[in-house]
Amino acid sequence: MLRFIVRRLLQAVLVMFIVSALLFAWLRSLPGGPVDSLLGERATPASRAALSKQLGMDQPLLVQYWHFLDNMVHGRFGTSTQVQTGADALHIFFQRLPATVELSIVAIVIALATAIPLGYFAAKRHGGLLDTGSVVLSLIGVAVPVFFLAFVLKYVFAIKLGWLPPSGRQSADLDATRVTNFYVLDGLLTREYDASWDAIKHLILPAIALASIPFAVIFRITRASVLEVLHEDYVRTAESKGLTARIIRGRHVLHNAMLPVVTTIGLQVGGLLTGAVLTETVFAYPGLGDALAQAFSQRDYSVLQVLITMAALGYVLVNLLVDIAYAIIDPRIRTR
Amino acid sequence: MTTAAPAKTETLLAVRDLVVEFGGRGRPTFRAVDGVSFDVRPGQTVGLVGESGCGKSVTSLAIMGLLPKRGNKVAGSATYDGTDLLTLDDREMRDHRGRDIAMIFQDPLSSLNPVVSIGVQVAEVLQRHRGMKKSTAIAESRDLLDQVGIPDPARRLKEYPHQLSGGMRQRALIAMALACKPRLLIADEPTTALDVTIQAQILNLLKELVVDSGTALIMITHDLGVVAGLCDEVNVLYGGRIVETASRHEVFARPRHPYTTGLLGSIPRLDGSRSEQLAAIPGSVADNIPWTSGCAFAPRCSRALEVCRSEAPPLEQDPTAMEEHTLRCHNPNPAEGGEPA
């Protein structure tokens, strides 16, 4: 098991190295370039040359790449030029991270808590009303664009009905104490429960929008996987032993059916940032997705670089965790 | 048996006119089991013999209540110890399965849960039916694995199905089936998926643990060699009906039904000449005609008469037999021609 983890970790390092090379190539090939974005189009050739030299852009590409890697490994991503001018790019990342993590956790909890039970019962009553209904629901989930669903939710529940707040992370007039920058957690730690509740209310709509695709995908995989497992000989063996329905469901059906689902969960968690860009923009939710959208449209290279690197790192880490989880639940991988 | 022969001793399981139909949802209904009746007495070993598709496995699954509920119709009765199993609801049936009646299956690898250790898979039966705590059940499981001849049982408890050999997997399944000392065991082709050398070991194990301990056994097989080694009584099935029933000795000495002789004739013999061809039964079960339009075996039968194609023969006592021997045939083999033609 330890060897397995070490091998996966080494693979993760290799993946990050490749990502850094791609990112470097991509940032360098963006039209405009950092000099233009800093000095504007009417800068003199002399000042351009001076800034190029200062940024090290007059040196050979390989040397530039080496500096790029060296800076990245040491956490030096430079300062933000647009999103939050003058602030350290890595600092912006850490400042925004709790908001997106909080949103992602709620979204994935919503997705899992609905998709897995629904997938199981849909398969169990294959062809029934529940099955047909939830398949249609999941089709809607994958087919409706996230930003559109976000707009509809916002319009109906925040603007028309006024049940939930339309934007932000917390009402500004609350003046809540900050500890970890995870607002729900902060409220619990400081016993300002109204602050927690307010933060939760701000999370519900964006989280539902963000959960729509993971829900649909996880539901479909769970349903297909349970359908397959229900026809396995070992489920018949379990039935022939007279075991209770609960044990058969948990130990014999779901445990086996979860194997493909776990892989899917990993991919979906990794992909949450994509959805977060859209959801956070619609709900003016100050997280990483919102920062990424701004950095993109305003050509803030330092912020783009830190966000993309961290997104890749997050993706790699999540999949590392998935591989470990997979080995834990499937002895055929663990004991090979 | 339509001939209402009085039971010699008490019956453990009495199957009467069992009918299983598959269908529903626009598919034509298919009658997989068509009025099967037989008895199992305590400690007796009864064989259900026939080719694949003859209804032998479906019969056992119907008795166990393991057929999918939807689209299937089960009629008749299967009385175990005074209770008709076919009338029980799901919960009551769960109490019987694994405790009173257990079952072992054909392919030991696919019949074991790949992600649960052998120990837990044995122990869960004990926890369920004998109310044991997990630790007690695991300790008992170790003894059970030992009894079925698995070496180093303490280590095997923690292992998973893919780490065991085929023979050991089948032994583990037998341990699970015997964990609660059931009074009836149904073995559905338990040796078919195993190497020949292992087959003999498993059969010996069954003989030793089941037959010698007084557990009744329904042995489902297509292999008359298995029947010869184990069964007291043999029911030969064809097309969902019993075509011949007799004691093991009687079946091998005086097979009357042409299908039974066909099964016997297709066993290779060591003392036969090498140029001699194996006597195969022509055609396949796919040529089945329903019993409503004559004898289902008639299209493949070498002794078929005109009447066989129009009228289904009833199951009757063989008048030439000295003991109980029923068969369903218009034109059986001559009574004295004991050896297969």
ipTM confidence score: 0.86
pLDDT (0 to 100) of residue A120: 94
Q: How far apart are CA A26 and CA A33, in angstroms?
A: 11
pLDDT (0 to 100) of residue B338: 44
Contact between B216 and B13 (Cβ < 8 Å): yes
> Residue A294: how many CB atoms within 10 A of its CB?
17
pLDDT (0 to 100) of residue B340: 44
* Placement of tokens 């997979």 in the chain: A326
Contact between A215 and A111 (Cβ < 8 Å): yes
**How many interface pairs between A and B have CB atoms less than 8 angstroms apart?**
85
Q: Do A233 and B163 touch (CB under 8 A)?
A: no
Q: How far apart are CA B135 and CA A146, in angstroms?
A: 51
The alpha carbon of residue A324 is apart from the nearest alpha carbon of chain B, in Å, by 15
The answer to whether residue B80 neighbours chain A at the CB level (below 8 Å) is no
Give the closest of A233, A241, A255 to B125, CB-based: A241
pLDDT (0 to 100) of residue A234: 95
Sheet strands (E) in chain B: 13-24, 27-40, 45-49, 72-80, 83-84, 101-104, 184-188, 216-221, 233-238, 241-247, 316-317, 325-327
Q: Do B98 and A243 touch (CB under 8 A)?
A: yes
* Placement of tokens 């019949």 in the chain: B111
Q: Do B105 and A236 touch (CB under 8 A)?
A: yes
Fold category of A89-334 in CATH = MetI-like fold (1.10.3720)
Q: Do B111 and A238 touch (CB under 8 A)?
A: no
The answer to whether residue B64 neighbours chain A at the CB level (below 8 Å) is yes
pTM of the predicted structure, to 2 decimals: 0.82
User: How far is CA B336 from each of CA B148, B246, B251, B317, B329, rounded to the nearest angstrom?
Assistant: 43, 16, 13, 16, 16
Chain B residue numbers with beta carbons less than 8 Å from the beta carbon of A257 are: none
Considering only CA atoms, which of B246, B285, B281 is closest in space to residue B266? B281
The alpha carbon of residue A303 is apart from the nearest alpha carbon of chain B, in Å, by 45
Q: How far apart are CA B236 and CA B332, in angstroms?
A: 14
Sheet holding B184-188, edge to edge: B101-104, B184-188, B216-221, B45-49, B233-238, B241-247, B325-327, B316-317
User: How far is CA B100 from each of CA B24, B56, B80, B129, B288, rounded to the nearest angstrom?
Assistant: 32, 21, 9, 10, 35
Residue of A nearest to B186 (CA): A240
Q: How far apart are CA B66 and CA B58, in angstroms?
A: 9
User: How far is CA A69 from each of CA A3, A66, A73, A310, B276, rounded to the nearest angstrom?
Assistant: 28, 5, 6, 14, 80
Left (φ > 0), alpha (ψ -120 to 50) or beta: where does A33 sit?
A: left
Q: Do B98 and A233 touch (CB under 8 A)?
A: no
pLDDT (0 to 100) of residue A58: 77
* H or E element, residue B268: none
**Angle, helices A255-270/A193-230, rounded to nearest 10 degrees:** 130
Q: How far apart are CA A174 and CA B271, in angstroms?
A: 98
Chain B residue numbers with beta carbons less than 8 Å from the beta carbon of A233 are: 105, 107, 110-111
Q: Are strands B184-188 and B101-104 parallel, antiparallel or unpaired?
A: parallel
The alpha carbon of residue B230 is apart from the nearest alpha carbon of chain A, in Å, by 23
Q: Which residues in chain A come in under a pLDDT of 50?
A: none
Where are the domains positioned within chain A? 2-73, 89-334
Contact between B8 and B41 (Cβ < 8 Å): yes
Q: Do B102 and A331 touch (CB under 8 A)?
A: no
Q: CA torsion B239→B243→B248→B254, rounded to 10°?
A: -130
Q: Which residues in chain B come in under a pLDDT of 70?
A: 1-9, 24-26, 267-279, 285-289, 336-341
pLDDT (0 to 100) of residue B335: 73
pLDDT (0 to 100) of residue A46: 81
Contact between A138 and A220 (Cβ < 8 Å): yes
The alpha carbon of residue B109 is apart from the nearest alpha carbon of chain A, in Å, by 9
Q: Which amino acid is at B192?
A: T
Measured over the CA atoms of residue B153, residue B154, residue B158 and residue B159, the dihedral's sign is negative
Burial class for A65, CB neighbours closer than 10 Å (0-12, 13-18, 19+): middle
The alpha carbon of residue B123 is apart from the nearest alpha carbon of chain A, in Å, by 11
Compute the mean pLDDT over every residue in chain A, rounded to the nearest whole number. Answer: 88
pLDDT (0 to 100) of residue B7: 45
Chain B residue numbers with beta carbons less than 8 Å from the beta carbon of A251 are: 113, 116, 120, 124
* Disruptive mutation site among A241, A261, A333 for chain B (greatest number of B CBs within 10 Å): A241
Q: How far apart are CA B256 and CA B252, in angstroms?
A: 10
Chain A residue numbers with beta carbons less than 8 Å from the beta carbon of B110 are: 232-234
pLDDT digits (tens, 9 = 90+) for B98-138: 999 999 998 889 999 999 999 999 999 999 999 899 999 99
Q: Which amino acid is at B130?
A: R
Copy the structure tokens of residue B34.
């068509």
Contact between A210 and A276 (Cβ < 8 Å): yes
The answer to whether residue B124 neighbours chain A at the CB level (below 8 Å) is yes
pLDDT (0 to 100) of residue B80: 92
Q: Do B160 and A232 touch (CB under 8 A)?
A: no
**Angle, helices A255-270/A301-329, rounded to nearest 10 degrees:** 170
Contact between A285 and A297 (Cβ < 8 Å): no
Chain A residue numbers with beta carbons less than 8 Å from the beta carbon of B99 are: 242
Counting Cα atoms < 13 Å in the Cβ hemisphere of A199 gives 24
Q: Alpha helix locations (H) across B179-319?
A: 196-206, 224-230, 248-253, 258-265
* Disruptive mutation site among B111, B164, B185 for chain A (greatest number of A CBs within 10 Å): B111
Q: How far apart are CA B58 and CA B21, in angstroms?
A: 10
Residue of B nearest to A330 (CA): B115
Contact between B13 and B46 (Cβ < 8 Å): no
pLDDT (0 to 100) of residue B4: 46
The alpha carbon of residue B237 is apart from the nearest alpha carbon of chain A, in Å, by 24
Copy the structure tokens of residue B54.
């003859």
pLDDT (0 to 100) of residue A103: 93
The alpha carbon of residue B169 is apart from the nearest alpha carbon of chain A, in Å, by 12
Residue B33 bridge partners (DSSP):
B20
Q: Are strands B72-80 and B83-84 parallel, antiparallel or unpaired?
A: antiparallel
The alpha carbon of residue A110 is apart from the nearest alpha carbon of chain B, in Å, by 27
* φ/ψ of residue A95, rounded to 5: -70, -35
The answer to whether residue B130 neighbours chain A at the CB level (below 8 Å) is no
pLDDT (0 to 100) of residue A27: 82
Give the closest of B64, B112, B120 to A234, CB-based: B112
The alpha carbon of residue B217 is apart from the nearest alpha carbon of chain A, in Å, by 15
Q: Do B105 and A242 touch (CB under 8 A)?
A: no
* φ/ψ of residue B236, rounded to 5: -95, 125
The answer to whether residue B112 neighbours chain A at the CB level (below 8 Å) is yes
* Placement of tokens 């099964």 in the chain: B263
Q: Do B128 and A244 touch (CB under 8 A)?
A: yes
Q: How far apart are CA B290 and CA B245, in angstroms?
A: 20
User: How far is CA B126 from each of CA A175, B152, B155, rounded to the nearest angstrom?
Assistant: 60, 21, 19
Q: How far apart are CA B291 and CA B308, in angstroms?
A: 10
